[in-house]
Structure 1
């Protein structure tokens, strides 16, 4: 197993793939983020319900949905020696199936969902927000399972625009899929 790189040293996806399978990192703008500890049961329940909603809607359609853990390499080419940045969103929809490559997704996904926790709030609301915006992610959802809210951002002219904050009793229209909406009372139904 390779050791983690020294601070400031480049770390490639090829090096990452040589680590033990239970080791999980994200690398964003050269910064390495450890993916532990495991998410809370509430976090996992929200992820499961969103996954169910998307999977049911997308069944038989061109796009497909994945839940974490899955690596998303925000690169134009699938060259593990050159990829120096990857993330592990809580939920990602991929409409270009040629972007699905073995154990990873390469390229820009369509909607991306991050479920925040105390340990990830800064990364999800600032670091990933700006990285997804630069990558051209069309729709970005930030879910707060504790307060049962969801902020939805849509990409317009290269910038994320806040489409709205939704709460437990709201229904969220999925802008990329006209006619598809998610009732948040189903997503936040799980009791702690």
Structure 2
């Protein structure tokens, strides 16, 4: 019996792909890879950050997306995804019109203002968020990237300067998070990690 290999998709073909489900996929080497559901803790932290940013008055709530905003990113190493779904994205005003049909920010569009990833447990997840996604977001020109580490209970803030991420700080415990993009934001790491049921 002869089997045919499914055709590899370009990113443009992927954008046109429909399977009538709510599934989220990463496009890796032209193939669709189904993303698993978010963990409870990651989802809660993303929702808490949404609440904190929206209630700060610094960002209109429609410009904050959790888990649903897709970013096209450059593939820098073999086997990397050509798209990512960050845990939280702060969009620019012009994205509102550009994403009415699909909440995807392509490389031709201006980059979002801020991207946040909540690190899931495990070595693979840590390497992906701290290294691979970091390099992709840097290459995309995203001006600020937060890594919320649930194991270390700390937040790393990176800021783009001359095309490279520099570390603004690694904030833990009682520390207030310093955001170059949203300098008036008042948020401590403790608030993020003590905001649940515990």
Band the TM-score falls in, shorter-chain normalisation: 0.7 to 0.9
- TM-superposition CA deviations, 1:149-187 (whole Å, max 9, x none): 111110000000011111131111221122223122221
Q: Superposed, which structure 2 residues align to 1:2-151 within 5 Å?
A: 9-15=8-14, 17-27=17-27, 33-36=33-36, 38-58=37-57, 61=60, 64-74=63-73, 85-98=82-95, 99-106=98-105, 107=109, 108-117=111-120, 118=122, 120-151=125-156
For residues 147 and 135 of structure 1, the distance between their equivalents in structure 2, rounded to whole angstroms, comes to 27
Aligned length: 178
- Compute the RMSD of aligned alpha carbons: 2.9
What corresponds to 2:180 in structure 1?
Answer: 175
CA contact (8 A) 1:150 1:166 kept: yes
Cα distance change of structure 1 residues 63 and 70 upon mapping to structure 2, 3 Å threshold: closer
**Quick check: 93-102 or 164-173, which moved more?**
93-102
Where does the alignment leave 5 or more consecutive residues of structure 2 unmatched?
75-80
* Helix, strand or coil at the partner of 2:187: strand
Match of 2:160 among 155, 160, 163: 155
Larger RCO (CA under 8 A, 6+ residues apart): 1
- Using structure 2 for the length normalisation, give the TM-score: 0.76
Q: Return the offset for 1:31.
A: 7.7
Where does the alignment leave 5 or more consecutive residues of structure 1 unmatched?
76-83
- Using structure 1 for the length normalisation, give the TM-score: 0.78
Higher strand share: 1
- For the pair shown, the structure with the greater C-alpha radius of gyration is 2
CA contact (8 A) 2:157 2:179 kept: no
For residues 21 and 101 of structure 1, the distance between their equivalents in structure 2, rounded to whole angstroms, comes to 19
